[in-house]
Amino acid sequence: MRKAIRPEQAAELIPDGAVVMIGGFMGVGTPERLIDAMIARGIRDLTVIANDAALPGKGVGKLVSAKAISKAIMSHIGLNPEIQQQTIAGDVEVELVPQGTLVERIRAGGVGLGGVLTATGIGTPVAEGKQVIELGGKSYLIETPLKADFSLIRAYQADYAGNLCYSLTAHNFNPVMALAGQTVLAEPEVIVPIGVIPPDTVKTPGVLVHHLLTRAA
């Protein structure tokens, strides 16, 4: 049986300047209580790898509002005017990555691949400074893997061994990010006894999860 820790304890594990992957899609499937605890701790200078910057006051957008991010690697920031303003002001460095490429770079980091070949971005600013190879008469970019010091995951259910299952769009980034973080912190909605989660619905096995967060009161 694994002992769950409070969000405040989990936040203390993450130092300033850490590289963190944060699951979710416009805030859906994002570990909100853990983010709140990080902000309360006053965390700073994060490199955040996420699908998007969400909205002000929601998901990753809370970290943006708190000016806790120094670099963002994301596919989309268009619905968060605060990160746009911080980028223009030079307070945040943003690396925009096509969404499919972003997922594949994270997966490559998680499974130990040396990179990803993709035609997405050829002939656009995405290709600037990147190696291009020819294969079968077609040009491909070599995209490097992404890894993180911490992966912050939101799950629907966890069992006492740390096995996780997800609900709906929370599947989009959480499972693949759970592969690519050196330390995985999972915030489940509920924690259930072993055997309650059917084995074929486990998307992240407990061996990958270092800490579970206590359930919301």
pLDDT on residue 215: 72
The reported pLDDT for the residue numbered 216 is: 59
Query: Does residue 20 have a pLDDT over 70?
Result: yes
Identify the helix (H) or strand (E) that includes residue 12: helix 7-13
CA atoms within 13 A on the CB side of 117: 8
Model confidence pLDDT, tens digit, residues 41-67: 999 999 999 999 999 999 999 999 999
> Is 70 exceeded by the pLDDT of residue 1?
no
pTM for this entry = 0.95
Q: What average pLDDT score do residues 204-208 get?
A: 96
Percent composition of the chain: helix, strand, coil (DSSP 3-state, to 5): 30, 30, 40
Instruction: Look at residue 10 in the predicted model and tell me its pLDDT.
Output: 97
pLDDT band at 211 (very low <50, low <70, confident <90, very high): very high
CA 119 to chain centre: 24
Question: At 52, phi and psi to the nearest 5?
Answer: -155, 175
Q: CB of 171 within 8 A of CB of 141? A: no
Q: Report d(CA 119, CA 122) in Å as an integer.
A: 6
Q: Which domains occur in the chain, in start order?
A: 7-113+145-212 (3.40.1080.10)
Tens digit of each residue's pLDDT (9 = 90 or more) over 74-120: 999 999 999 999 999 999 999 999 999 999 999 999 999 999 999 99
Strand-pair partners of 58: 55
Using one digit for the tens of pLDDT, what is the confidence trace for 136-194? 999 999 999 999 999 999 999 999 999 999 998 889 999 999 999 999 999 999 999 99
189 phi and psi angles, rounded to 5 deg: -75, -40
Please list, residue by residue across 197-207, b when 16 or more beta carbons sit within 10 angstroms of its beta carbon and e when fewer do.
beeeebbbebe
